[in-house]
Amino acid sequence: MISFIVSVTAKDGHEDQVADFYRGIGELQSKAPGFGGRHIYRARTGAMVKAVLAGMSEEDRAKHSAGGHGGHGDHATEGTQFVIIEQWASIDDRMAFASGAAASRTKELVPHLLPVHSHEFFEEVV
């Protein structure tokens, strides 16, 4: 098995459309040769920063905010990240799915996404 991992960011207010798209292609995937399953994850944007800040004193929060920790908590995060992890028997099977059954559906997704995205095949490191 090979893993195909996709990371996309939904535009603010378009999270449900992105989730619906990935739910909707599930039936197509389940019929595709070589498909072995998938998981769809939607970020709880801001939850990590909120949890970290909740465990800090007011003094530590002030230091954290001014201390140059990459700006965490200093600005709003744009969009909502989705990570989709698919399992396929081979790269060829995934590519056949993408150029076949899924090709016409992709245009439904694009208007709901920010330009930042990644997708790649991965192998497990044991």
Q: Quick check: 32 and 93 in contact, CB under 8 A?
A: yes
- List, in order of start, the domains of the chain with CATH numbers: 2-43+76-122 (3.30.70.100)
pTM, 2 dp:
0.80
Instruction: Label residue 73 left, alpha or beta by phi (over 0 means left) and psi (-120 to 50 means alpha).
Output: left
What residues have CB less than 8 Å from 57, skipping those under 6 apart? none
pLDDT in tens, the chain (126 residues): 999 999 999 999 999 999 999 999 999 999 999 999 999 999 998 888 888 888 888 888 787 765 554 444 444 568 999 999 999 999 999 999 999 878 888 889 999 999 989 999 999 998
